[in-house]
Amino acid sequence: MAEKILITGGAGYLGSTLTPVLLAAGYDVTVLDSFMFQQNSLADCCHYDSFHVMRGDCRDEKLLTKLVSQADIIIPLAALVGAPLCARDAIGAQTINAGAVQILCRIASKDQRILMPTTNSGYGIGEAGKYCTEETPLRPISHYGVTKVEAEAAVLSRENSISFRLATVFGMSPRMRLDLLVNDFVYRAMHDRAVVIFEGHFKRNYIHVRDVARVFMHGIHQFEHMRGKPYNVGLDDANLSKLELCAEIKKQVPNFVYLEAPIGEDPDKRDYIVSNARLASTGFVPKHSLQMGITELLKGFTILRNSHYGNV
């Protein structure tokens, strides 16, 4: 019998990429989502007999208890994602990003497996020239980062769990987001031909959304070997500053102009470089480069022309 997977927030940017991958691999998948963005990103999954969908709130403990009782694996994706959205709805961020995960950890049995994505923005501001590993102290700056660090602590306090500390995700998804840094800059390069950058020397790491789906599959397959630990998930060759990212985009959009503002601050203050060696030691290798993602996004933004594809 196929293993049963419960995904909260399964119709979002990550979930709408991951869910079809799991279904195609033969898993029985139940998605709980509020569909707060009126998305139809899972419409193409409805032909699977092994796909089940529930419209509801990930904080509803009675509903969660019923759904969790039927699951072998739990993947909590439901979250208010990004510093601006969490600043705008601080209570929602706390209760969804941290509180709902804490409920899951409380009601799940010790035998049920939890694989959770968090963010490597929890590292905050790193030391110059020094890579953040999974042993680096977490110093989140934004409310978003704080809530995700709290959720990770709850997940890793139980033995049967894995946490994936995701780099900034990019690439096309059925539930598209334009407010992610690479996606945003490529969209501006294509449609505005210009971007003004604040604190362009700030560095971060990047990963394609399809490699995020792949890392969850990898974690399921290698669970016994990987459980109980957090793993950074990013591209080793993409620890880039915002200015370096723009230079990569300009290689494919030659008339793209980017300028660094002499004054002003980026509200998202994270600045770090990341080592992904622990994940690599388990045999995981990303397949989608930053350059491939830029090419893909340029095709996608030929189709998408409006700004409702975002969280803010």
240: left (phi over 0), alpha (psi -120 to 50) or beta: beta
Contact 248, 291 (CB under 8 A): yes
pLDDT at residue 78 tops 70: yes
Query: What single DSSP character describes residue 187?
Result: H
pLDDT value, residue 202: 92
Q: At what angle do helices 100-107 and 143-156 cross, to 10 degrees?
A: 0
Q: How far apart (Å, rounded) are the C-alpha atoms in residues 297 and 299?
A: 5
DSSP-H helix ranges across the chain? 15-24, 61-68, 83-88, 90-93, 100-107, 143-156, 181-191, 209-221, 223-226, 242-250, 277-280, 290-303
| pLDDT for residue 79 | 95
**Letter string b/e over residues 20-44, b meaning 16 or more CB atoms within 10 A of that residue's CB:** bebbeeebbbbbbbbbebebebbee
The reported pLDDT for the residue numbered 215 is: 98
Q: State the angle between helix axes of 181-191 and 290-303 in degrees (0 to 180), rounded to the nearest 10.
A: 50
At 80 the three-state DSSP class reads coil
CA dist 179 and 173 (Å) reads 13
Q: Which of 99-103, 128-132, 161-165, 205-209 is least confident?
A: 128-132
Percent of the chain residues topping a pLDDT of 90: 87
Q: Minimum mean pLDDT among 44-53, 125-134, 247-256: which range?
A: 125-134
- pLDDT for res 2: 87
Can you tell me the distance from the alpha carbon of 63 to that of 61, in angstroms, rounded to the nearest whole number? 5
pLDDT of 1 reads 75
Q: Decide if pLDDT at 263 tops 80.
A: no
Burial class of residue 137 in the structure, from the number of CB atoms within 10 Å of its CB (0-12 exposed, 13-18 middle, 19+ buried): exposed
95-104 burial: b if 16+ Cβ within 10 Å, else e: bbbbbbbbbb
Q: How many residues does the chain have?
A: 312
Regarding beta strands 273-274 and 131-132, do their DSSP bridges make them parallel or antiparallel, or are they unpaired?
Answer: parallel
Lowest mean pLDDT among 84-88, 159-163, 300-304, 307-311: 307-311
Q: How far is CA 144 from CA 240, 249, 270, in A?
A: 22, 27, 12
Sorting pLDDT into bands at 50, 70 and 90, what band is 47? Answer: very high
Q: pLDDT > 70: what percent of the chain? A: 96
CATH domain 4-171+208-234 topology: Rossmann fold (3.40.50)
Best CA proximity match to 64, nearest among 18, 96, 25, 110: 96
Question: Residue 129 — pLDDT band, cuts 50, 70, 90?
Answer: confident
- 168 three-state secondary structure: strand
Map tokens 């070997």 to a residue: 225
For residue 307, is pLDDT > 70?
no
Q: Once rounded to an integer, what is the mean pLDDT over residues 177-201?
A: 94
Three-state secondary structure readout of 97-114: HHHHHHHHHHHCCCCCEE
What mean pLDDT is reported for the chain?
Answer: 94
Q: What integer pLDDT is reported at residue 262 of this predicted model?
A: 82
pLDDT at 311: 62
Instruction: Name the band, by pLDDT with cuts 50, 70 and 90, for residue 128.
Output: confident
Other CB atoms within a 10 A radius of the CB of residue 53 amount to 17
**pLDDT beyond 80 at 158:** yes
The predicted structure's pLDDT at residue 24: 98
85, 231 in Cβ contact below 8 A? no
pLDDT of residue 308: 66
Q: Hey, where are the domains in the chain?
A: 4-171+208-234
Q: What is the mean pLDDT of residues 245-269?
A: 88
Q: How far apart, in whole angstroms, are the C-alpha atoms of residue 188 and residue 251?
A: 15
Instruction: Answer yes or no: is pLDDT of 268 > 80.
Output: no
